[in-house]
Structure 1
Amino acid sequence: MLKQIKDFNNPDFAIRYIRKHKNILTKLGYAYAGRLTARGFKKGKILDSGCGSGDMVLAMAENVPGYEITGVDLSKPLLEYARAEAEKRHLTNRVKFLKADVHTLPFDDNSFDAAFSINMVHWVNDPASMLQEIERVLKPEGYLFIKDLRRSWLGILENEIRSALTTEEAGKITEAANLRKGTLSKSLLWWNYEV
């Protein structure tokens, strides 16, 4: 369950969230599509766990026609926006958005070729459980991408950053989730776990 689900179900908050995150999520969508394509992955099923407004999913789908992408989230206003955008961009045959809890994904084991959790870990009460669930639905040879805010001195600036994890905490959570062997890295604002 999200720490602040009431905010994400508030339409005014959702509008502010979309305005604030649209550009970065779109850029991430193009970047991740490029990374997957560079690894030879041009066709398959992708999960975005905690897709929010769906802007990353939509950018990936527009960039690579072979992707079938499912985004899940609990926010009704954000999912409504994502579905409307998918329809407007004529992507509904390859992109779907479902209301689902990231801790109990409504998919069979080994359902996806790639999975993403972007800027989600710091929002949930039990990140290890969420990551275990992503691991469950990801095929054994699947690609896994986790990216989240990294707590640092910038935490004095905004509550969202204060609730983020340090890289060390992220390492402990990915280990507790028993994720497949990957690489944990950090930058000024983000920590990343990638397989």
Structure 2
Amino acid sequence: MNRTPLTHERIFREEEFAGSYARRHQKMAEKFGHECAEKLTSRGFRAGRILDAGCGFGGTALVLAQRFPDSEIVGIDLSEPLLRLANRNAQAAKLERRAKFEIGDVEKIPYANHSFDAVLNINMVHIVENPVRMLDEIERVLKPEGFLFIADLRRSVLGFIEKEIRAALTLDEAKHLLNPSKLRAGKFSSNALWWRYET
């Protein structure tokens, strides 16, 4: 794979940088939240436990908490500044009883097998050190009949503009990456900026 390595070190230690990151990505996170909610609703989902593996500032998860008021939403991430922001956002929206954001490694998810009715993973495949391990962990905690939604940046000619896109996978690389994982069978789709994999 011809990827440019990407580090997000500042997001793990700097409150101001984490806040700036959240402001830049808020609309995108909410868009994915509404997209996931529509897909869940179309599959008959009404309530359950939802995991946002790599939740960041909680933008996507909080949309799901609003859309599914009888559900428990759990977000995990390794960035303490982003998690503090996620929990503040949950409190501001009066969702803190149903939306919890905790320290957790997506490559070693701290929950039992088959704990979640739905798992989403947005914009993480190109960031983590071992994406196959992360995908295997997602499969482990997802119930057999559970819903899976993965979306990540797609590397394209736009990479010369944005470093983040240079670090992303092409669609073929994403398909190749998922082959050795234990992830259940699903469907790929893509557009100019994103690839998606879902069940």
Give the alignment's TM-score, normalised by structure 1.
0.96
How many residues are aligned here? 194
- Supply the distance in 2 between the matched residues of 1:30 and 1:152 (Cα, whole angstroms): 25
SS in 1 for 2:51: strand
Verify the 8 A CA contact 2:26 2:59 in the aligned structure 1.
Answer: yes
Structure 1: where are the runs of 5+ without partners? none
Partner of 2:88: 84
Q: Deviations over 1:97-141 (max 9, x none)?
A: 010111011100000000000011101111111110111000111
Question: Does 2:19 align with 1:15?
Answer: yes
Verify the 8 A CA contact 1:3 1:124 in the aligned structure 2.
Answer: no
- Supply the distance in 2 between the matched residues of 1:193 and 1:80 (Cα, whole angstroms): 29
Instruction: For 1:40, give the aligned amino acid.
Output: G
Question: Does 2:105 align with 1:104?
Answer: no
Question: Does 2:132 align with 1:128?
Answer: yes
Verify the 8 A CA contact 1:61 1:68 in the aligned structure 2.
Answer: yes
Question: Does 2:42 align with 1:38?
Answer: yes
Percent identity, please.
48
- Supply the distance in 2 between the matched residues of 1:67 and 1:188 (Cα, whole angstroms): 33
Structure 2: where are the runs of 5+ without partners? none
Q: Where does 1:34-73 land on structure 2 (aligned, <5 Å)?
A: 34-73=38-77
Q: Give the C-alpha shift of residue 12 in structure 1.
A: 2.4
- Supply the distance in 2 between the matched residues of 1:93 and 1:68 (Cα, whole angstroms): 8
Q: Give the C-alpha shift of residue 6 in structure 1.
A: 1.9
SS in 2 for 1:16: helix
Q: Give the C-alpha shift of residue 31 in structure 1.
A: 1.9
Verify the 8 A CA contact 2:6 2:167 in the aligned structure 1.
Answer: no
Partner of 1:149: 153
Bigger Cα displacement from structure 2, 60-69 vs 156-165: 60-69
Verify the 8 A CA contact 2:6 2:164 in the aligned structure 1.
Answer: no
SS in 1 for 2:155: coil
Verify the 8 A CA contact 1:5 1:75 in the aligned structure 2.
Answer: no
Q: Deviations over 1:132-160 (max 9, x none)?
A: 01110001111110000000101001111
Instruction: For 2:192, give the aligned amino acid.
Output: L
Question: Does 2:194 align with 1:190?
Answer: yes
Aligned-residue CA RMSD (Å) = 1.3
Q: Which residue of 21, 29, 32 corresponds with 1:28?
A: 32
Verify the 8 A CA contact 1:73 1:101 in the aligned structure 2.
Answer: yes
